A = this chain, B = another copy of it.
Amino acid sequence: MTDRHPDDGPPVRDQERNLDPSNLESERYQYARRFEDLLAEDDDDALSQLARELSPADLSEILRPFSAEDTVRVLRQLAPEPLADVLAEIDARSTTAFFLLLDHDEIADILEEMPSDEATDVIAELDEQAQQAVLEAMEAEDAQDVAELLRYPPESAGGLMGKEVLSCRDEQTCGEAVAALRQYDQDELAEMHYVYVVDDREHLVGRVPLFRLLLTAPEAVIATIMETDPLYVEVDLDQEEVAQYMMTHDLTNLPVLDHRQRLVGLITVDDVMDVMEDEATEDISRMAGVSVEEFGEQSPARVARSRLPWLLGGLAGQVGAIMVLRHFEQSLASMVALSFFIPVIMAMAGNVGIQTSSVVVRGLATGEVDYFHLGRHVLRELATSLMVGAVIGGCLFLVCGVIVGDLHLAWVLAVAMLLVIVFAAVVGTGTPLLLHRAGADPAVATGPFITTANDIFGLLIYLGLATVMLSLGGAAS
């Protein structure tokens, strides 16, 4: 099943454990099914064999949709080294559940196998007392790195970085720098592509790409061959800005400095890719009115509890819409056809609000929209919405003319639709821009909040206009 190329695969591949990237989903599904069967049969030997057959990366992906309990049963079959790699990738709930089965020494042994940043993420899931006990059980050097990383906020550059970084002094020679590389574990070296250069005060002054060490005579002094003025970030920079910075400059390694400009760690691009995926999930969640926590959650009760606040907020907002309609009770009673078009007015206001706000939210996230030019964006949306409103209003005029056959009502609808669309576009564009300027996350505004505001004002515009234009006998209740 894992044999990708039965006919023309090169013969040197004696053992094939990587899944076929062109058929990944179905290969993973077949493995997932086999795991499910073995879990049901309680066949630990076969489970162990199957788990060892896969690379840690594939195994962690296959286990994603599994419950914490089932994940733990698979993890128990693994040796410490692949186990460390899998634990670094799977979700926090499964890790926590797994660690409940182990004593502190066993946890410490696993964490020592991990890069310091991943060990920190894992240990952060434990309570403070357990953290202390595990740190005491770890080797002093590893424990010191992890203890330092635990002090940084998880969403900062300090929380992302690892302590593993190649560095040398500016006055050393290339030969000395290469000799120093031999101290490192080969796995650790795999992600590091530069030797960072510090001066006698431990300040970062340059970097040397590994290929340059290869091509330079051993006696050359580092200071003469290094690239000066390397890009860096400080420990307290927000992770989203770190990700944008690495992406803008196409960096795979980014050194992190403390407030005294001393080199304290290194961020690698794989950490940043996880940040980008998480941030996109966060934006989508906020637009849709769900909590990030519910991703991967299995219990319907917990999912319901995480969704209810958004819905109850929406319900509270809709009480406003109920009050608007009650206010226009007399108009609605004297012309039932008015109520036929409530859904279309609301839906169009909602659609335009979501379109405009998500363009702004995404544009702010990617740098496409510049929030300092607030007025310019709002003006551009105003022009766009006038055109859109005229077209949709015209279509609604025709729809009403054909279905209800009342041209007066059709006029009211067309004008109301135009006004509602312009209003929704301005609210949808302006709200996230104002929020961003005020330092809040603009994505919060998108979705439920803007939709509710547009619903209420849309109904006010529509029914107010209808009552006045069709002389439906005053709106007083």
Contacts and interface: CB of A to CB of B under 8 A. Distances in A.
A470 interface: no
A477 to B, nearest CB: 12
Contacts of A16: 229
Interface string A272-288: 11101100110111011
Interface in A348-399: 348, 350-352, 354-355, 357-359, 361-363, 366-373, 380-381, 383-385, 387-388, 391-392, 395-396, 399
Contacts of A29: 370, 372
A154 interface: no
Contacts of A81: none
Interface stretch (A17-25, A45-53, A105-113): A17-25
Query: Nearest 3 A-B pairs (CB), nearest first?
Result: A288-B358, A280-B280, A300-B383
A149 to B, nearest CB: 18
Nearest to A192: B211
Contact of A355 (B241, B277, B290, B362): B290
A105 to B, nearest CB: 28
Contact of A307 (B181, B344, B388): B388
A24 B247 CA distance: 13
A284 B287 contact: yes
A261 interface: yes
A270 B247 contact: yes
Given A281-B362, A347-B455, A358-B284, A368 B314 contact: no
A418 interface: no
A311 B204 contact: no
Given A16-B229, A64-B368, A308-B388, A329 B336 contact: yes
B342 A199 contact: no
A101 interface: no
Given A339-B332, A344-B321, A370 B64 contact: yes
B343 A346 contact: yes
Interface string A418-455: 00000000000000000000000000000110011001
A310 B189 CA distance: 51
Nearest to A236: B22
A190 B206 CA distance: 15
A305 to B, nearest CB: 8
Given A280-B280, A329-B340, 16 more contacts: A10-B203, A12-B206, A24-B245, A25-B371, A60-B248, A61-B367, A193-B193, A284-B361, A298-B380, A300-B384, A301-B387, A321-B343, A322-B344, A325-B342, A339-B342, A342-B343
Contacts of A151: none
A191 B315 CA distance: 53
A431 to B, nearest CB: 15
Contacts of A272: 273
30 contacts: A5-B261, A8-B260, A15-B229, A17-B229, A21-B242, A22-B234, A55-B249, A57-B248, A61-B367, A181-B215, A191-B252, A193-B193, A210-B211, A277-B366, A283-B284, A290-B355, A294-B359, A315-B348, A315-B395, A318-B347, A318-B348, A319-B399, A319-B403, A322-B343, A326-B340, A329-B336, A329-B337, A332-B339, A343-B459, A351-B451
Nearest to A254: B21
B186 A228 contact: no
Contacts of A383: 300
A176 to B, nearest CB: 13
B283 A57 contact: no
A341 interface: yes
A241 B211 CA distance: 30
B362 A295 contact: yes
B205 A10 contact: yes
A244 interface: yes
A388 to B, nearest CB: 5
Contacts of A78: none
A32 interface: yes
A296 interface: yes
A210 B199 contact: no
Contacts of A205: 10, 12
Contact of A276 (B213, B276, B342): B276
A341 B322 contact: yes
A214 interface: yes
A22 B303 CA distance: 36
